[in-house]
Structure 1
Amino acid sequence: MGAFPILSLMLLVPLVGAIACLFVDARLARTIALVATLVDFVLGVVLWAQFDVGGARWQFTENVALFAGFSWKLGIDGIALMLIELSVFLMPICIAASASIEKRVGEYMAAFLMVEVLIIGVFAAQDLFLFYIFFEAGLIPMYLIIGIWGGADRIYASYKFFLYTLLGSVLMLIAMLWMVNQAGTTDIPTLMETNFPLEAQKWLWLAFFASFAVKMPMWPVHTWLPDAHVQAPTAGSIILAGVLLKMGGYGFIRFSLPMFPEASATFAPLIFALSMVAVVYTSLVALVQHDMKKLIAYSSVAHMAIVTVGLFAFNSQGLDGAMIVMLSHGLVSGALFFCVGVIYDRLHTREIDRYGGLAINMPRYATFFLLFTMASIGLPGTSGFVGEFLALMGIYQMSSWVALICTTGIILGAAYMLYLYRRVVFGEQKNADAAAMPDLTRPELVMMAALSAVTLWMGVYPQSFLAPMRADIAALDARLAQARPKGDAQVTAGRPPKAESAAEAHTEEAR
């Protein structure tokens, strides 16, 4: 299983491509970047095909000692596998969606390929400090993409993005140093089984939370996201919403929950409170937006709040739902930003009021846009429904009040997404320039079809995505079992806590 270093190869291919892009002309740079991302996509397919569902928890492991206890240690479980698959699927679409970039194309393509290297490294790293290097280095190319190829206020947005995400991670580094000194290892799988003292767990949890909450992003540290999305080029928004936001959720799954389970239970009410505010507040803010990108950006905050309540529901349904929401949001939000990019490239404005009646002159575009709108809302049969249903079912077992308030996000989501779609696609064609826009080109049609196919696949047959993660989610659920909150939220909801297992239920009945 670990004989061939496929994970290192997946890091090497885009790295070599990035270096090559710096020394060639624009046309060749585009070709190299597309080929490199397609090769990584093929390697990702091989990775998924060879992943042994039900086998060893950590597969495709590599371990090379480097210096002073630091090692090149890679390996994945089912959770990391799915996030890597999401990354390698979206990257070729990002490269193909960058046809409108004309300035410093070689450097642009190199920056995107470096984003791919660092994203895969985050999900594959099994050494604590190797993870930190990948996690933080991912800021640099994204900062450059926004700051160089972004919109009019790109400098402000890039600095805000960089400072928010960097400052949150300083505390995480201090916590990592303490953990290594205490446990005597930098091995992430070992640390996931280490039992730290409760008081230490609380401080460690808060230190990691400072970083992961910004990456998600959670309310109220979400304000960098709308600015970053509005100013980023189309491909930058796709990869930012599609994958980079998932690094926060992955951090909670890989570090906060398994390493600090008691502290996670202690701070679960805080997570619920922040998430409920995020669902309602950002959905209401999305309703009044005039910029399409900003509306979708605020919707991302609301969707990621469903992820956090699912993660901290402390049961397998919540964890399953959180993972599917992350995967679905990566696809659907990326597709929505691509839809915005398609018409922005034609009319060079994101103002909703400048459009209208596009169903007349762009019927194929209107059809795909409708599918992704329905998936964002959570229509049954699409990827959005499966994740939100599981996550809300998981949190309902903890608190019906939290579930009720978070469910309003679905209603509000339908309001702002359908309102957006109606104003852009239906109605009268008030502007001649919008009415003259051509429908999807062949490359755009291929990219839309690919995103649509996976969105429907996940909605119709989610088991294919859940199966590789089932054993890992079960292991995490078992790790959380002893720390699981015992009915606090359920008592608030007006009913006694449920038994945690069938055996406990029988014991209660016998009593």
Structure 2
Amino acid sequence: MTVSILIFLPVIAALVVLLFKNESAKHAALFFSVIELAIAGVFLAKFIPDASSQFGIDVPWIPKMGIYFKAGIDGISMIMVLLTTALVPLIILSTYKHQYSNANAFYALILFMQAGMLVVFTALDGFLFYVGWEAALIPIYFISGLWGGENRVRITIKFFIYTFAGSLFMLLGMIFVYLQSPSQTYDIADLYRGARMVSGHSSLIFWAFFIAFAIKMPLFPFHTWQPDTYTESPTAGTMLLSGIMLKMGIYGVIRWMIPIAPEGFLSWQNVAMAMAVIGIVYASVIAFTQTDGKRLVAYSSIAHVGLIAAGIFAFNQQGLQGSMIQMLSHGINVVGMFFIWDIISRRLGTRTISQLGGIAKVAPQFAIAFLIITLGTVALPLTNGFIGEFLLLNSVYQYSLWVAAAAGLTIIFGAVYMLRMYKNVMQGTTNELTLTFADISGSEKLVLGIICLLIIGLGIYPQPILHISAAAVDNLIYIVKSSGKF
């Protein structure tokens, strides 16, 4: 069994879902996404946590141009595969209380997007990676543009232009490195070797990749598309963007940018670190001023991703391991938080924090789930957010004490604005709007229950996740540092 089944099953499923109507399309999409998760579970059970790439496929695609359909899973990829295949069923299930026009197209696009993201996370050929990168962008453009909010068209066009422009930089960088590779292929190992033969262009190669990945993450100052897009997209689209798609940028930095351009990264490491830390502080300060709950979570996400980026740019074992588990934890937490605000918005018709209050008195189960997700987001010990942020801050501390002090503000600020948000929404007295708030039931209870279990389970025992990626992370560090440029 090869990784191709993970890549192509969502494509086939999407085509099948297009044949269904309304409720049937929703059930079919959930069924296929659960099957995909089960297949990922089989891969995980058979996975050997060493540095090798497993379950590989390597077949000629356009061999005259050195392009092969080559993909596989190592410890780094496995974390991302688990994230993608676990969150998509939850995202689909979270839509069960919604009614969408052309529901078959909506759910088919989600499955198409899943396929594109899995290509990105498993590709071992640069051209295939780029195809997956662009393939994942197209479905979210239509999801946001067709089913989004009032300003969806303008915001979605801005998002598309940002990400597509960044992708072109990456493509130019990929082609340039390909032309330098000894074997004239897009194989990842050849690209690693090819870039190191042209050290005089290392900074240009670095920036070609960095711009694309920084936009996708998003990293300050390339973040301006994110809050508007997250706010205007339908909740499922926001979950896909924040829970999984932004991880494509982080993954690209780890898998492609640093190993391909180690000398360029070393030259610009301080600049990249400064951008990450500025983004942490900037987004945290802006989050304090937000009155819309969904928008507050969007800025919170920028701050948390900034810390992940800072850990990666410190480039040590703790930082890369911390980034791996924090990508998983952030995906779980942010999907849960956006679902919380989807429930509030659907029940009450508003996301304005000042109009809420006292919901815990009339919806205790909802209040408990909201609190657990909030505590995971602020990295309380024994929740999933803690171990990742601990490792990331440890790695940044090894880079610089003062940078670590600034990066640590994400924890302090995050605790303040997230707990203040919870207090204003859930505590106090009820008002005319919140008095009739109904507690969670059915699919809502199932989604939030699974998310809360993951938050607590990973917080208490994160070792299995760290074990999966440890050998691959160590091997990546060895590859980069053995280049002689680092």
How far did residue 483 of structure 1 move? 7.8
Instruction: Name the structure 2 match of 1:153.
Output: 151
User: Secondary structure of 2:6's partner?
Assistant: helix
Any gaps of 5 or more consecutive residues in structure 2?
none
User: Secondary structure of 2:408's partner?
Assistant: helix
- Is contact 2:206–2:261 with CA below 8 Å preserved after alignment? yes
1 CA distance for matches of 2:323 and 2:264? 20
1:87 to 84, 88, 95: 84
How far did residue 348 of structure 1 move? 2.1
Deviations 1:388-407 (A, max 9, x none): 11011011111001000001
- Is contact 1:196–1:260 with CA below 8 Å preserved after alignment? no
Instruction: Name the structure 2 match of 1:331.
Output: 332
User: Secondary structure of 2:19's partner?
Assistant: coil
Instruction: Name the structure 2 match of 1:20.
Output: 16
Instruction: Name the structure 2 match of 1:168.
Output: 166
1:366 pairs with 2:371: no
Instruction: Name the structure 2 match of 1:504.
Output: none
- Is contact 2:262–2:485 with CA below 8 Å preserved after alignment? no
1 CA distance for matches of 2:205 and 2:86? 34
How far did residue 482 of structure 1 move? 5.8
2 CA distance for matches of 1:124 and 1:404? 35
Instruction: Name the structure 2 match of 1:475.
Output: 475
Code of the aligned partner of 1:188: I
2 CA distance for matches of 1:138 and 1:254? 18
Code of the aligned partner of 2:133: F
- Is contact 1:314–1:480 with CA below 8 Å preserved after alignment? no
1:245 pairs with 2:227: no
How far did residue 70 of structure 1 move? 2.1
Instruction: Name the structure 2 match of 1:407.
Output: 408
- Is contact 1:314–1:484 with CA below 8 Å preserved after alignment? no
How far did residue 219 of structure 1 move? 0.6
Instruction: Name the structure 2 match of 1:49.
Output: 45
- Is contact 1:193–1:258 with CA below 8 Å preserved after alignment? no
Instruction: Name the structure 2 match of 1:137.
Output: 135
How far did residue 11 of structure 1 move? 2.1
2 CA distance for matches of 1:239 and 1:105? 17
2 CA distance for matches of 1:197 and 1:473? 25
* Alignment map for 1:329-478 (pairs within 5 Å): 329-430=330-431, 432-478=432-478
Instruction: Name the structure 1 match of 2:74.
Output: 77
User: Secondary structure of 1:435's partner?
Assistant: coil
- Is contact 1:21–1:106 with CA below 8 Å preserved after alignment? yes
2 CA distance for matches of 1:317 and 1:11? 30
User: Secondary structure of 1:61's partner?
Assistant: strand
How far did residue 66 of structure 1 move? 2.1
Code of the aligned partner of 1:179: V
User: Secondary structure of 1:245's partner?
Assistant: helix
2 CA distance for matches of 1:117 and 1:85? 13
1:65 to 51, 60, 66: 60
Question: TM-score, normalization: structure 1?
Answer: 0.92
- Is contact 1:126–1:187 with CA below 8 Å preserved after alignment? yes
2:35 to 39, 47, 57: 39
2 CA distance for matches of 1:40 and 1:95? 13
More divergent stretch after superposition (190-199 vs 258-267): 190-199
1:125 to 123, 127, 150: 123
How far did residue 259 of structure 1 move? 1.4
- Is contact 1:265–1:483 with CA below 8 Å preserved after alignment? no
- Is contact 2:67–2:185 with CA below 8 Å preserved after alignment? no
The number of equivalent residue pairs is 480
2 CA distance for matches of 1:105 and 1:26? 5
1 CA distance for matches of 2:360 and 2:315? 45
Deviations 1:402-429 (A, max 9, x none): 0000011111001110111011100111
2 CA distance for matches of 1:101 and 1:298? 28
2:107 to 106, 109, 134: 109
- Is contact 1:192–1:254 with CA below 8 Å preserved after alignment? no
Instruction: Name the structure 2 match of 1:494.
Output: none
How far did residue 481 of structure 1 move? 3.3
1 CA distance for matches of 2:114 and 2:482? 37
1 CA distance for matches of 2:396 and 2:15? 46
| Identical residues among aligned pairs (%) | 36
Considering Cα pairs closer than 8 Å and 6+ residues apart, tell me whether 1 or 2 has the greater RCO.
Answer: 2
Rg (Cα) greater in structure? 1
- Is contact 1:321–1:390 with CA below 8 Å preserved after alignment? yes
- Is contact 1:168–1:210 with CA below 8 Å preserved after alignment? yes
2 CA distance for matches of 1:11 and 1:481? 32
The structure-2 alpha-carbon separation of the partners of 1:384 and 1:483, relative to structure 1 and needing over 3 Å to count, comes to farther
